[in-house]
Amino acid sequence: MVRSHIRVARHTVSVKIIRVETGGIRLRIVTPPRDLAPFITAYYHRSHVRHHGRRLASTRMGQSARGCGKVYEAAIGEAAMQQLPTAVISGPTSRVTRLGIADGEFWGVGLLPLGFARFVGVPASMHADRFCDAARNGPSNLCGR
């Protein structure tokens, strides 16, 4: 199901909401308002009611995500799958990202390089091809850098 309209009258912004449900996965993607588009690709919420194993995803820009579930793991490139922390920040990837997710909910914000610099406070390239525990390290010391 795709909804291509929503107006928030208080701020007079227009966004697009995309909803998809298939095979135990519910996905909702919301595009940012025009003034945030240089920084953010999308806001998203995923619900998984069954294990979906190791799915392949394309290379991507940075993101901030928070999730809780029976399985919440990922790997970049050929690296071994690793358990992700509840709150994760990742920089852009130059290799395929594999995800293992099950029985939980996950929220995220896709960050473009300008968004990474603006909201995280460092260049996205400093965290390329890695996942960082945002809750433990905080934005000023992500990935121990």
Q: What are 13-26's pLDDT values in tens digits? A: 667 888 888 777 78
pTM over 0.95: no
DSSP-derived secondary structure letter, 118: I
**CATH architecture assigned to 38-137:** Sandwich (2.60)
DSSP-derived secondary structure letter, 23: T
Predicted confidence (pLDDT) per residue in 96-106, tens digit: 888 777 788 88
What stretches of the chain show up as alpha helix (H) in DSSP? Answer: 113-115, 134-137
CB half-sphere exposure, 78, CA atoms < 13 A = 0
Residue 71 forms beta bridges with which residues?
102
Q: Which long-range contacts (CB under 8 A, 24 or more apart) does 79-82 make?
A: 81/54, 82/131
The span from the CA of 70 to the CA of 30, in Å, is 25
pLDDT at 4 over 50: no
Confidence at residue 49, expressed as pLDDT on a 0 to 100 scale: 63
Token pair, residue 126, equals 């400093």
In Å, what is the CA distance from 143 to each residue of 32, 75, 137? 27, 16, 7
N- to C-terminal Cα separation, the chain: 42
Residue 97, classed as helix, strand or coil, is strand
| Contact assessment for residue 88 and residue 65, using Cβ atoms and an 8 Å cutoff | yes
